[in-house]
Amino acid sequence: MALPELYRKLNLLANADLTTAAVQDALRAVIEAALDEVAAAEMIPLISKVPGKVYGMASANGRKSRPINTALFAPDIAREQLFEAIFKTTPPFDAAVLDRCLYTAAMSFPVARDLFMEGDKKSPGTFFECLIGHIVAARYGVNPKRQILVPTLDEEVMIPTDFIYELGQNRRIHLPIKISTRERVVQVWAHQKLLDGMHGANRFKGVLVCLAETNKQKDVSVTEVCLPNQWRAYQMYIARLDRVYYLDLPVKYAALRDAYPHIQVWPFSKFFEEADNLFNMANAV
Amino acid sequence: MALPELYRKLNLLANADLTTAAVQDALRAVIEAALDEVAAAEMIPLISKVPGKVYGMASANGRKSRPINTALFAPDIAREQLFEAIFKTTPPFDAAVLDRCLYTAAMSFPVARDLFMEGDKKSPGTFFECLIGHIVAARYGVNPKRQILVPTLDEEVMIPTDFIYELGQNRRIHLPIKISTRERVVQVWAHQKLLDGMHGANRFKGVLVCLAETNKQKDVSVTEVCLPNQWRAYQMYIARLDRVYYLDLPVKYAALRDAYPHIQVWPFSKFFEEADNLFNMANAV
Q: What is the pLDDT of residues B21-42, one digit of tens each?
A: 999 999 999 999 999 999 999 9
Closest CA to B99 of B115, B85, B78: B85
User: How many contacts (CB atoms, under 8 Å) link A and B?
Assistant: 82
Whether residue A131 is predicted with pLDDT greater than 90 in this model: the reply is yes
Average pLDDT, chain A: 93
Which residues are bridge partners to B82 per DSSP? none
Q: Using an 8 Å CB-CB cutoff, list chain A residues near B198.
A: 233, 237
Q: Do A152 and B234 touch (CB under 8 A)?
A: no
- Which element (helix H / strand E) includes B63? strand B63-64
Q: What is the ipTM of this complex?
A: 0.89
pLDDT at position B281:
58
Confidence band (pLDDT; 50, 70, 90) for B279?
confident
In this predicted structure, the answer to whether residue B159 has a pLDDT above a threshold of 90 is no
A152 contacts chain B (CB < 8 A): yes
Identify all chain B residues contacting A182, using CB atoms and an 8 Å cutoff. none
Tens of pLDDT, residue by residue over A104-119, are 999 999 999 999 876 6
CB A85 within 8 A of CB A97: yes
Tell which of A237, A240, A258 to mutate to test the B interface (max B CBs under 10 Å): A237
pLDDT of residue A70: 97
Alpha helices in B40-122 (DSSP H): 79-88, 95-116
pLDDT classification of B151: cutoffs 50, 70, 90: confident
Which residues, 6+ apart, have CB-to-CB distance to B227 below 8 Å?
B182, B183, B185
B83 and chain A: CB distance < 8 Å anywhere? Answer: no
Nearest Cβ partner for B193 among A150, A230, A237: A237
First to last CA, chain B: 47
Model confidence at A79: pLDDT above 60: yes
| Residues A127 and A23 sit within 8 Å (Cβ to Cβ) | no
**Per-residue pLDDT reduced to its tens digit, B39-89:** 999 999 999 999 999 999 999 989 999 999 999 999 999 999 999 999 999
A-chain residues near B162 (CB < 8 A)? none
Instruction: Count how many residues are written for chain A.
Output: 285
Q: How far apart are CA B144 and CA B166, in angstroms?
A: 7
Closest CA to A72 of A103, A95, A117: A103
| Closest residue on chain B to A193 (Cα) | B238
Nearest residue on chain B to A197, judged by CA atoms? Answer: B237
- Residue B45: beta bridge partners? B56
| Confidence at residue A156, expressed as pLDDT on a 0 to 100 scale | 79
The structure's pTM equals 0.92
- Please tell me the distance from the alpha carbon of residue B262 to that of residue A269, in angstroms, as a whole number: 46
Strands A68-69 and A156-166: unpaired
CA distance A188 to chain B (A): 9
pLDDT at A2 over 50: yes
